[in-house]
Every structure is written in C-alpha cells, then in structure tokens.
Amino acid sequence: MIVDLTAPEEEIMARMKQKTRYNIRLAEKKGVTVRVATPETTLADLKTFLNDRVSVFVGQSGVGKSSLIATLLPGEDLRIGALSENTRKGKHTTTTARLYHFPAGGDLIDSPGIREFGLWHMSPEEVMYGFRELRDIAGHCRFRDCAHESEPGCAIIEALENGEISDERFFSYKRILSTLTEL
C-alpha cells in the first residue's frame, strides 16, 4: 500500500520513477497487491483492504503513514513527526519497520519513509561526482578528505570566493549531503 495523502492516484503514479513502476509490476507478478491510498480513500476502504492479510505502508516521509496506523489502532503509541519548516516534507520520524496486529485479523507494517531522490545509499564522493565543476576543483584541495567547510587550502572555498563556481551549485551540493546524514 503506497500512502500519499497529498495527491490523486494518477498524479502519484505519474510522479513515480520508471524504476519504481517497474518494481511494482514485478511485485504484482509475485502475488503482491499494490494499492495507493489518496485523500479520496476512506478509512472504511482501508479497513476492508487491510483485513486478514499482511500489509505494509510505504510512501515518502511525512505523508502520514504512522498517523494512519495510529487512527486504525488507537491503542498503539506511534511516533508522529512534524514536517520540516523549510521543505514542508517529513523528517524521517519512523526509523525502523514495525509490525502491528489488528485484533480482528491482519497485520500491518509501518515503514520508514522513502527518500525522494533515492540517494540515501550514496557516499559524499558519489554526490560530488554529479557536480562536475566541483569535482574537478575538489581535486586541488590540500587534504584528500577535505570536507570543504573551513579547511586550509580548500580549493572549493577559494573558487567560491573568486566566483569561479556558483554559490547556488555549492549549496545544492551541501543540501543533498545534509539529506544523506539526516538519520
């Protein structure tokens, strides 16, 4: 069950990466039923669907997976997270998957939100690789493991000060790096 209570189903499907759609078809071939929960989905629909089977809620951080489970299972104490003030996205409140039992039958797994760009497995070096002009300049930093923060002999900081690289690109790089270390 894909949970995204922010948009209609067609829009959610259209927003998905091709690889995600491919994986969904693969899962369906193996007998997994994939459904999308949207603002139109009623609690009654949901209860009927979840009854007598093992389900897992997946969806971006902050779409309300844990909130839905808290509504379905009022006795359970789930962590619900506020959205980030800046991005209006979730802050990866649920960090591990957990299975809940319905008294009337059926199990439901709450899972940590998937990261929007699927970058969580990347190292800082791999992120830097995507920023060609930064990558070339970083090769000239004095220290090989330079974090380009305030190290002496940092070629990136020098290039920023000279205007050789744009602040925008550098901050974009920094922002992606910070999402990798959120957890």
Ligand X SMILES: Nc1nc2c(ncn2[C@@H]2O[C@H](COP(=O)(O)OP(=O)(O)OP(=O)(O)O)[C@@H](O)[C@H]2O)c(=O)[nH]1
Residue 65 C-beta: closest distance to Mg ion, Å: 5
Q: Is 12 in the site for ligand X (CB under 6 A)?
A: no
Q: Which of 64, 127, 137, 148 binds ligand X (CB under 6 A)?
A: 64
Which is nearest to 115 in space by CA: 10, 20, 14? 20
Interface residue with ligand X, options 46, 66, 154, 156 (CB under 6 A): 66
- Length, in residues, of the chain: 183
Q: How far is the CB of 102 from Mg ion (least distance, A)?
A: 18
Q: How many residues bind Zn ion (CB under 5 A)?
A: 5
Answer for the pair 163, 154: CB distance below 8 angstroms, yes or no.
no
Buried b (16+ CB within 10 A) or exposed e, 54-76: ebbbbbbbbbbbbbbbbebbeee
Contact segment (CB under 6 A) with ligand X among 26-34, 46-54, 89-97, 150-158 equals 89-97
Query: Is residue 82 at the binding interface for ligand X, with CB under 6 A as the rule?
Result: yes
